[in-house]
Amino acid sequence: MKRLITVLLLLVAMNAQAEFTRYHEDDELIAYLDPTTITRSGHEVRMWTIDDYRQTQTDIPNKPYRSVKSHWIFDCAKRMSDVMTALYYIEGMAQGESIHSGTVAEREWDKVTPGTVGELAFKVACQKPVAGKPAVKPTEKPRTP
């Protein structure tokens, strides 16, 4: 119980401090990332994102949702990615009740697919930081698969 309360307090604190920046928009969703959460360790980078859907999503039985807040890890050297935690919300921008969540105990790396929103997130996460330059280039548009 103490662990659950600690996790909930951490998530509330993260939402209060988050500075999400739009990095992609299409007919299906608007994708945001929080550049203040980007952390680097060797060739691995972690960051939080929000996928804010224009229409309610119904791919989880009996649990419709409008947004997903995800904690990603990227292997910049191998062009691989994995979602460490995903929280599904009934309202946009990770607001309202969280109706579903998942945390991955073991890495399940996937190759970064060229031309996708995931590749745009990978590029932002894995670019070398330059003082005085913004981390996000929201003008890039992925190809439609």
pLDDT of residue 128: 80
Please list the rounded mean pLDDT of every run of 10 residues in the chain (145 residues). Answer: 44 59 96 96 97 96 96 97 96 96 87 95 88 52 46
pLDDT of residue 46: 97
Regarding beta strands 95-103 and 80-91, do their DSSP bridges make them parallel or antiparallel, or are they unpaired?
Answer: antiparallel
> Do the beta carbons of residue 125 and residue 135 sit within 8 Å?
no
Domain boundaries, the chain: 20-126
pLDDT of residue 116: 94
> Do the beta carbons of residue 47 and residue 37 sit within 8 Å?
yes
Match domain 20-126 to its CATH number in 2.20.25.90, 3.30.720.110, 2.40.128.710, 2.60.40.10: 2.40.128.710
